[in-house]
Structure 1
Amino acid sequence: MGRSFRSRGIAHAALALVLDEARRAGLHRVTARTLAGNLGARHLLAAAGAVLTPGDDGTVHAVVLL
């Protein structure tokens, strides 16, 4: 996301929509992967209740149970 759009809640709203749609579809979890250095994405995912697990390849795996 471009810097001028950060800190406006856009990513939070988008993730909330994805999680809502996953629930409606009957899914039980949503997974994501991001770079370990992407602190914004890590914070967003953790705030959504994701369990973050560091990978051995410089990534972080996130799981949100629905």
Structure 2
Amino acid sequence: MREVADAFAASKGCYGYRGIKAELRTGVSEKVTGRIMAEDGLMAHVPGRRRYDSHGGETTPAPVGT
């Protein structure tokens, strides 16, 4: 359990149960790793979805042509 928490802290909270299992390189299954993480309340950071917005900000004035 301690190894899972240390590996999670080393990844700065970015790895989920699959990444932690690969980092440990032990014979522990992904299910066991996921269960240990759930018991300790360790959840990987997942960025939220963002809506598409084509508006880039302020518009510039039209160029004065020649």
TM-score of the superposed pair, with normalisation by structure 2: 0.32
Q: Find the structure with the greater CA-based Rg.
A: 2
- Relative to its length, the structure with more strand (as a share) is 1
Tell me the TM-score normalised to structure 1 length: 0.32
